[in-house]
Amino acid sequence: MLCVHIYIFNRKISTTFDSEKQYSVIQEAKDNMKKHLLCLITTILIAASLNAQPNYNYEKLQRENLGRGVVAIRKDASTVTVSWRYLSSDPMDTGFNVYRNSKKITPEPVNAGTFYDDSYASPDAATYEVRPVVKGKETNRKNGRYTLPANAPTGYTQIPMQKPANGVTPAGDTYTYSPNDASIGDVDGDGEYEIILKWDPSNSHDNAHDGYTGEVLIDCYRLNGEQLWRINLGKNIRAGAHYTQFMVYDLDNDGKAEIVMRTADGSIDGKDFERPQYKKLLRKMKKDDLLYIKSIDRLGRNYEEILQQWRIITKDKGVDIVVLDMPLLDTRRGKDLMGTFLSDIVLQVLSFVAENERTNIRQRQTEGIAAAKARGVRFGRPPRPLPDNFHAVYQRWRAGKITGTAAAKECGMPLATFRYRAEIYEKAKLL
C-alpha cells in the first residue's frame, strides 16, 4: 500500500491508494498546488513592485517663492472680479478677506475659492488687498495688493509693451513686428510673475522659402508694463515657426527664473548695453546729473563691462553715480585723491564679485539643465495633435492630387508646418 503526503500552504493532505487508477488523484493535487504557488508568487511580485515605488518627500520639493498674485479685472460696468493665489504653504482651512481702498468688503472670509466679485460701478481707480485668514484671524502672511486703474477696460487688463521699430531687409523690403509666443516666470525674485514675450517679424518664414527674415526679439515685462530687458537673437537666427522655442524656469533654484533658448553668433543679450533704453539714458544725461542704480551688476555682465560703463558715465559724461546697496560707491563724496582711490578699490572688488557670481550662475544653469535631461524632462512645448483629416489629406497630397498649399489649408496649418508634420508622419510609418 502506498501512502502519499502532499503539503499545500502548510496544510497536509494525506491519501492512500493501492491501485494505479488512483494515481490521478495525486496528479490533480500537484496541479492544484502549482496553481496556488503561481498565484502566491504573482501576489508577492505585485506587492514588491508597489513597495519599490519612490517615496517622495514633498517637504523637500523646490517651490517657487511666489506672492499672493492679486489681480482685479472689471467684469462689467458694475462689477470687478478680484482673484489671487492659494499658496502650497497655506493651511488647508485658510480663508481670505478682501479690502477695497482699505475698507473690508467681504462679510465673511472667502473659503470656496480664490476670487471675489465686488460691486463697484465707479470709474475711479481702486486698490484691492487680500489678507489670509486662519481660525478666524488675519495672519498678514503674504498679503497681496493690486490697483485697478481708472476707466479700466472690461474683460482684460492692459499691459503696455514697447513694440519694436519696423525694419528693412538688405533687399529693401520693410517688415513690422507683432507679439508671438509668451511664457511667464519670476525672473527678478520679487514673488510676482513677469511675462517673457517673443516679437515675430512680418516676413517670418522657414527654410522652405528663400529670402530674408527680420531679427527675432525677446522681451521681459513686469505686469505694469515695465520692460526689464530685450534680447535680440540677431541675423543668424531665422524667424520661423520652428526656430525659437524657449523655456522659462528657475533651473538653478536661486529664486529667479532663467530663460533657455537657442542662440547663435550675433545674438545680443538683454543685459548688455546695446539696449535702446540704456542708449537713450546715456544721450539724455548731462554733466553734474545724478544716476541712481540698485546694484553694481546693473552696469554690466562682467568685470571689464562694469568698469567701462562706470568710466563712460563718470569720466566722459561727468555724471555722479549712487549705488543703493553699496553706500561706499557714491561719487558725490570723497572726490579728493584718497576718496577716489578708495572708491576705485571698492568698485573693482565688487565688479570682480559680480562677474564671478554670473559665472557661477551660468554653471548652475548648465548643471540644472543636464540634471533635468537626465531625469527625462523634455524641453519645449508638446506638439499639437494632428487634425482628423490629416491622413486623408496627406494621401491625396502624396499622390499629387492636391498641392501642398491646398493640403495645408485643409488641415488648418501653415504650409511649412504641414510639410514638417508630413515628414515626421512618413518617418513614423516606416518604423
| pLDDT tens track for 29-69 | 666 666 666 666 667 666 655 555 556 565 666 677 888 99
> E-assigned strands of 202-275?
217-221, 227-232, 246-249, 258-261
Give kind and range of the element (H or E) at residue 14. Answer: strand 11-17
Give the 3-state secondary structure of residue 227: strand
| pLDDT tens track for 221-253 | 988 888 888 888 888 888 987 788 899 988 887
Domain 276-374: top CATH class: alpha beta
| pLDDT tens track for 133-176 | 999 899 888 899 999 999 999 999 888 888 988 888 888 889 99
Question: In this structure, which amino acid lies at residue 118?
Answer: D
**Helices first, then strands: H and E counts in the chain:** 7, 20
Taking the C-alpha atoms of residue 41 and residue 45, their distance in angstroms, rounded to an integer, is 6
**Is the pLDDT at 358 greater than 70, yes or no?**
no
| pLDDT tens track for 277-331 | 777 777 788 888 888 888 766 776 666 677 777 777 887 788 888 888 777 778 7
Architecture of the domain spanning 71-148: Sandwich (2.60)
Taking the C-alpha atoms of residue 217 and residue 231, their distance in angstroms, rounded to an integer, is 6
Nearest to 417 by CA among 273, 241, 225: 241
The DSSP annotation for 43-106 comes to HHHHHHHHHTS----GGGS---------EEEEEETTEEEEE-PPPTTS-TT-EEEEEETTEE--
Give the 3-state secondary structure of residue 26: helix
Residue 15: pLDDT band (50, 70, 90) is very low
Residue 416: pLDDT band (50, 70, 90) is confident
Taking the C-alpha atoms of residue 58 and residue 93, their distance in angstroms, rounded to an integer, is 20
The region, left, alpha or beta by phi > 0 then psi within -120 to 50, assigned to residue 133 is beta
Identify the pLDDT of residue 148: 93
The region, left, alpha or beta by phi > 0 then psi within -120 to 50, assigned to residue 247 is beta
Question: In this structure, which amino acid lies at residue 34?
Answer: K
For residue 218, give the C-alpha cell. Answer: 525677446
Question: Taking all residues of the chain, what is their mean pLDDT, rounded to a whole number?
Answer: 79
| Phi, psi of 240, deg, nearest 5 | -165, 180
| pLDDT tens track for 94-111 | 999 999 999 999 999 999
Question: In this structure, which amino acid lies at residue 181?
Answer: D
Output the pTM of the full model.
Answer: 0.53
Widest Cα–Cα separation across the chain? 121
Taking the C-alpha atoms of residue 280 and residue 278, their distance in angstroms, rounded to an integer, is 5
Taking the C-alpha atoms of residue 156 and residue 404, their distance in angstroms, rounded to an integer, is 39
| 172 touches 149 (CB < 8 A) | no
Taking the C-alpha atoms of residue 128 and residue 72, their distance in angstroms, rounded to an integer, is 7
Name the one residue in this structure whose C-alpha cell is 472667502. 110
What is the DSSP code (8-state) at residue 316?
I
Taking the C-alpha atoms of residue 178 and residue 164, their distance in angstroms, rounded to an integer, is 9
For residue 311, give the C-alpha cell. Answer: 568710466
- Three-state secondary structure along 268-303? ECCCCCCCHHHHHHHHHCCCCCEEEECCHHHHCCCH
Provide the CB-side half-sphere exposure for 156 (13 A, CA).
3
Give the 3-state secondary structure of residue 367: helix
Nearest to 179 by CA among 195, 163, 167: 163
Residue 337: pLDDT band (50, 70, 90) is low
The region, left, alpha or beta by phi > 0 then psi within -120 to 50, assigned to residue 166 is beta
Question: In this structure, which amino acid lies at residue 1?
Answer: M
Identify the bridge partners of residue 126 per DSSP, sorted by sequence position.
Answer: 148
Question: In this structure, which amino acid lies at residue 100?
Answer: R
Question: In this structure, which amino acid lies at residue 139?
Answer: T
What is the DSSP code (8-state) at residue 35?
H
For residue 290, give the C-alpha cell. Answer: 545724478
